[in-house]
Amino acid sequence: MNFDFARILDTPIVIVGFGTVVALYAGKVAQKGRLPSLIGFMLLGTLLGPSGIHIVTEGLQEKLGFMSDVALGFVALSIGLELSFVALRRQGKAIIWIILSESLFTAFVVTVALGMLTHNWPFAILFGAIAPASAPAGTVAIIQEYRARGPLTQALYSVVGFDDGLGIIIFGFASAVAVQLLSEASFSAEVLLEPFVEIGVSVVIGTAIGLLFGILSSRIESNRDVLTLGFGMVLFTTGIANGLGVSLILTNLVVGIALVNSQSRRTTQRVGEAISTVMPLLFTLFFLFAGAHLQIGALPELGLIGIVYILGRSFGLIGGAWIGSTLGGAEKKIRDNIGMGILSQAGVAIGLALYVKREFTEFGVAGEWIGATIITTVTATSVIFEIIGPILTKIALKRAGELDADGKA
C-alpha cells in the first residue's frame, strides 16, 4: 500500500482537526496571559493562514466558509433567545436610544471624517454605512466564556442583536445615495425599498421557523434530541437566508426571538442549554478562520484611511452609545461601559464590503478604487476590531461587576 502522507496531511478535514486541537491550547495560553481565549484562536489562525505558514489557504477558507455561516447562525440564535419582549420592556426606552444613537452617530462620524480626508463623498458615505455593523460573535463569546450576568450583559445582547438590522437599512440608503453621486442618476423607489424588503423577508422566515422550532422542541423530552433539532434548524435557516440573499444573522436572530416569546421558560432554557454545549467548538472554528483572513502584507497599505476609520468608528460607537444611554436614562454602569462592548466587527461588515466591490465596478476606475479600498480596509481592520473588541468587552463587564468569579482579572 502506497501512503502519500503529504497529500493526507493537506486534506481539509485533517487541517481542521489539527487546527481545532492546537487552537484549544492556544486559547488556554491566551487565558494565562489574562486575555480571552478567542484571541489565542485568532492569532493561531493568522499564523496558519496566508500571512503565516500557509496551511489554511485562501482556497481552504472558501471551501469551509459554510462553517463560519453555521457559527454565526448559532450566535444569532443564542442572542435571539435572550431577547424576550418582557425583558426588553424592563430595559425600557434606553435600549432603543442606544441602538439608534450608536448606529447613526457612527455612520455620521466616519462619513464626515473620511469625506474630509479623501474628498470622495460616495466612498465616505459607503464606508460610513458599513461602520455601524457589529460582530455579535466576539461579544457573545466573552459573555459565555466568563458567564457574565446583569443589566449590562442583557443590554449588550439587545444592542448587538438589533443593530445589524438597522445597519442593513442604513447601508441600503447609503448605497442608493452613492450610486446617484457616481452616476448622477435619479433616485429609484425600488432601490430605496430594497433594505426594507430584505428586513421583511428575514422577519417572516425567521418568525415562521422560530414558531415551528418552538412547537417541536416543547414536545421533545431528551436534551440530546433538542440539540439535534436546534442544529438542523440553524442549518436550514442559514441555507434559506443565503439562498434568498438576506441576512443570515438577522433571520436566525428572529428565530430565537420568535421561540423565546412563544414558548414557556422551561422550553427556552432547554434549547439554550442544548445550544450552549456546541458553542465553544463553533467559537473555536469561527475565530480560527477569522484570524486566517488577515493579510498582514496589506496593513501598510491602509495608511491614514485605516487609522481614521478605526478612530472614527471607535469614537462613534462609544460616544453614540453614551449619548443614547444618557437620552434614554440608562443606569450609570450601562452608560459608562456599553460602548466598550460593541466594537467587534467582522462578518456583516466584510459581507457589505464585498457587495460594494462587486456592485460598484460598473462605475469604472472610480468604482473599482472604492471597492478595492473598502474591502482591503474592512478586512484588515475587522481583525483588529476582533482582537481589541473582546478585550474591551471583558473590561467593560468587569467594571460593571458582571463577570463570574472565574472571570476575574
- CATH class belonging to 65-288+301-403: mainly alpha
First to last CA, the chain: 54
Largest distance between two CA atoms of the chain: 73
CA dist list (Å): 9 to 1, 51, 67, 105: 17, 20, 20, 49
Q: What is the mean pLDDT of each run of 10 residues along the chain (409 residues)?
A: 58 84 88 74 82 78 77 80 74 81 90 89 87 77 80 82 71 75 64 73 92 90 86 92 81 88 86 84 80 69 82 90 86 84 74 69 76 76 79 85 61
Question: Cell 448605497, residue?
Answer: 175
pLDDT reported for residue 32: 82
How far is 131 from 389, CA to CA, in rounded Å?
14
Domain ranges of the chain: 1-63, 65-288+301-403
pLDDT reported for residue 105: 92
For the beta carbon of residue 66, count every other beta carbon within 10 angstroms: 13
pLDDT reported for residue 205: 94
CA dist list (Å): 135 to 238, 250, 386: 17, 12, 8
pLDDT reported for residue 91: 67
Radius of gyration of the chain (CA): 21
How far is 77 from 228, CA to CA, in rounded Å?
15
Nearest to 95 by CA among 318, 316, 327: 327
pLDDT reported for residue 409: 43
**Is the distance from CB of 324 to CB of 94 less than 8 angstroms?**
yes
Q: For residue 241, which amino acid is it?
A: A
Residues in the chain: 409
pLDDT reported for residue 208: 95
